[in-house]
Amino acid sequence: MTATSEPAFVRELPGAQTPRWGYWIRFGESGIAPGDEDGILQLPGEWPEQAMALGMWRDLPVAMVHEQGDVNWPPARDWLARLPGAQADLLATALQVNAWSRDHRFCGRCGSPMSRLTHEFAMQCQACGHRSYPRISPCIITLVTHGRDLLLARNARFPARRYSTLAGFIEPGETAENAVRREVHEEVGVDIGRVRFFRSQSWPFPHSLMLGFFAEAASRRIRIDGVEIADAAWFTPRRLPELPPSHSISRQLIETHLSAVAMR
C-alpha cells in the first residue's frame, strides 16, 4: 500500500550462497523487538545462527530470528496496527513463516524430521521426500448491506461496544461466494442477493487470508446464532457503533460503503 513504485519488500529468497548478513527482525516469546526508525527492522549486520531468510528488503537480504526469553517487547498485533504498509507485509510474512516452521518440524506423512530448503519456503522430509509449504487459510469477511444500512455484529470476544462485519473460514470444496452466503445465513439468518469482491488482506493470526466482500441482503430479519455472535443489528450511516481499527479490512469495507452512500 506504499505509494512508491519500488517495493521495499521483495518475495525473493536470497538463496544458499548468500552471506548470512542483512536486515533482521528479532522475535521473542510474545513480542517483537523495536528496531530502526520506530519499526521492527534491525540495521544490517551478521545474522545469528538460527536466522531464517524471508526475502529482500531495500535490496538487502532480510531474516527473522527467534530468541528465547521474554523481554516485554510489543506484541505482533500492536506492531501490525501501526507499521507502514511494506513493513506490515514483511511482518505478516515473518509471523506465518515462523508459525509454519515451528509446526512442521516433522513429516505429516511418515513422522521423520523435516529440513528447511533454502531457495523457497518449503520443508522437506529427509526420509520420504514429502514437502510442506506454509499453510494459508482463506476466510471470507463480508459487509452485509441493505440500501444505505449496514448489518454489523458483536462477537462474544469483542470489547463491550464494538461491532464489526461477519467473517468465517471457507470450507474444503467451497467457493468464496458460497462461503459468504453460508456464513451470513449461519450467523445472522439473513439471505443474500448480490455478492461483490472488494479486496483481500493477509491476517497472520495464525495464517488467514481475508477475502473481503460486499453482500446485499435480500431480507432484513435477523436471527443470531447466539454462540459466536452475541448481538447483530442494522445500523444507519448516521448512527454507528464503535467500529474495528482502521488498518483492518473490516473497517475498510465499512468506510468504503459509507463513502459510496454519502455521494448518492
Closest CB 134 distance from Zn ion, rounded Å:
18
Residue from 20, 77, 105, 109 touching Zn ion (CB under 5 A): that is 109
Stretch that binds Zn ion, among 24-32, 112-120, 148-156, 206-214 (CB under 5 A): 112-120
Give the residue with the Cβ less far from Zn ion, 107 or 141. Answer: 107
| Cα atoms in the Cβ-side hemisphere of radius 13 Å centred on 8 | 15
Q: Which of 125, 150, 167, 254 binds Zn ion (CB under 5 A)?
A: 125
123-131, 161-169, 230-238, 242-250 -> range binding Zn ion (CB under 5 A): 123-131
- Say whether residue 123 binds Zn ion (CB under 5 A): no
How far, in Å, are 76, 91, 131 from residue 79 at the CA level?
A: 5, 8, 32
E strands in 100-237: 114-116, 123-125, 131-132, 137-146, 149-155, 166-169, 192-203, 208-217, 229-235
Q: Which is nearer to Zn ion, 125 or 167 (CB)?
A: 125
Among 43, 81, 110, 136, binds Zn ion (CB under 5 A): 110
Under the binding rule (CB under 5 A), the answer on residue 115 touching Zn ion is no
Q: Residue 231 burial (CB < 10 Å; 0-12/13-18/19+)?
A: middle
Cell numbers representing residue 153 in the block:
455484529
Q: What is the largest CA-CA distance in the chain?
A: 63
Return residues touching Zn ion (CB under 5 A): 107, 109-110, 112, 125, 127-128, 130
